[in-house]
Structure 1
Amino acid sequence: MHIAILTMTISLPGCRSLKEKRQRMGGLHERFGRHPSIAVCESGDLDRHDASEWTFVVVGASSRAVESLCSEIEDKLQRTVDGRVLEATREFL
């Protein structure tokens, strides 16, 4: 069993309310939380309007599968979120 923790920090320039922040993040929890190998939560910057931090725990039978899922999450986030990814860190357990 291989496990990775992917943490993504996202800038939301011009965001003025928590409601707008939720709309701009576009339901990340629902989108990624459906996958049986991924757990997701908003892990930081909860009260800030202009930033958001999300953590994904990815589990797989091989390191290659885990790496692939992490890359897929990063790519999808960059394409679908109305913001800019500032940082993406991976930690393997």
Structure 2
Amino acid sequence: MHIRLIVFSLQLPGCRSLKEKRQRTIGFKDKFGKLANVAVTESNYHNSHDLAEWGVIIIAKDKQTISQIESQLENGLACMDVVITEVKSDWI
């Protein structure tokens, strides 16, 4: 069993309210948080309008599956109206 922790730091250009922030980012959690082997949470900057940090845990039997899911996550974020400023990841 392999476990991967990934933390995405995001900037939301032009975002002026927490409501707008939630509207921009909710699709990420809805799409990936429903996968059986993925847990997604907003892990920092809860009260900031233009910054967000999302933590993701992926659990799988092999590292190749985790890498595929990690690519899907990055592609999903790239399609949103956000700028990825930093990605930290670690094997647990």
Instruction: Quickly name the TM-score band, shorter chain normalised.
Output: over 0.9
**What is the match of residue 10 of structure 2?**
10
User: Deviation of residue 27 (structure 1)?
Assistant: 2.5
User: Deviation of residue 4 (structure 1)?
Assistant: 0.2
TM-score, L = length of structure 2: 0.94
Tell me which amino acid in the other structure corresponds to 1:39.
Answer: A
Q: Superposition RMSD on alpha carbons, in Å? A: 1.0
Kindly indicate whether the alpha-carbon contact (under 8 Å) linking 2:8 and 2:53 is maintained by their aligned counterparts in 1. Answer: yes
**What is the match of residue 44 of structure 2?**
44
**What is the match of residue 88 of structure 2?**
89
Q: After TM superposition, where is structure 1 displaced by more than 6 Å over at least 4 residues in a row?
A: none
Structure 2 unaligned segments of length 5 or more: list them.
Answer: none
Identity %: 35
Aligned length, in residue pairs:
92
**What is the match of residue 32 of structure 2?**
32
